[in-house]
Amino acid sequence: DAKTTQPNSMESNEEEPVHLPCNHSTISGTDYIHWYRQLPSQGPEYVIHGLTSNVNNRMASLAIAEDRKSSTLILHRATLRDAAVYYCILSRRSGGSNYKLTFGKGTLLTVNP
């Protein structure tokens, strides 16, 4: 399985930007980088994904290093509702044309009021 490395936990203050790092040095050319988050007592929720270029959506931005061996999820203004475990995942082929998401330990983000 494709491996990613994230800090166990991070803290942020409300309304400040948050940069969540992820290392994926064994990424292959066809692996997409996905970010999901899991709020307490809920199922994982899609945040963003990308291949090579930086990506923006209404929830966050994804900055991908030029060599693709690392990426950073950026929450522009953290709110208390952003407190969650954030997972950085590589989607990798698992037989035929099928892909699967393999979750790691993730980063527990705490947002202080």
Partner 1 sequence: DTAVSQTPKYLVTQMGNDKSIKCEQNLGHDTMYWYKQDSKKFLKIMFSYNNKELIINETVPNRFSPKSPDKAHLNLHINSLELGDSAVYFCASSQGLRDTEAFFGQGTRLTVV
| Residue 80 DSSP symbol | G
Residue closer to partner 1, measured from CB, 43 or 113: 43
User: Residue 97 contacts by C-beta under 8 Å, 6 or more apart in sequence?
Assistant: none
Taking the C-alpha atoms of residue 79 and residue 77, their distance in angstroms, rounded to an integer, is 6
Nearest CA-CA partner of 9 in 110, 91, 97: 110
- Nearest CB to partner 1, comparing residues 13 and 94: 94
For partner 1, the closer CB: 81 or 113: 81
Least distance from partner 1 to the Cβ atom of residue 16, Å: 26
Minimum separation from the CB atom of position 111 to partner 1 (A) = 19
Q: Which amino acid is at 59?
A: M
Residues binding partner 1 (CB under 8 A) = 30, 32, 34, 36, 38, 41-46, 49, 51, 85, 87, 91, 93-103, 105
Q: Which is nearer to partner 1, 51 or 80 (CB)?
A: 51
36: enclosing H helix or E strand = strand 32-38
Task: State which H helix or E strand residue 7 sits in.
Answer: none
Q: Smallest distance, Å, CB 15 to partner 1?
A: 27
CB of 9: closest distance to partner 1 in angstroms?
A: 13
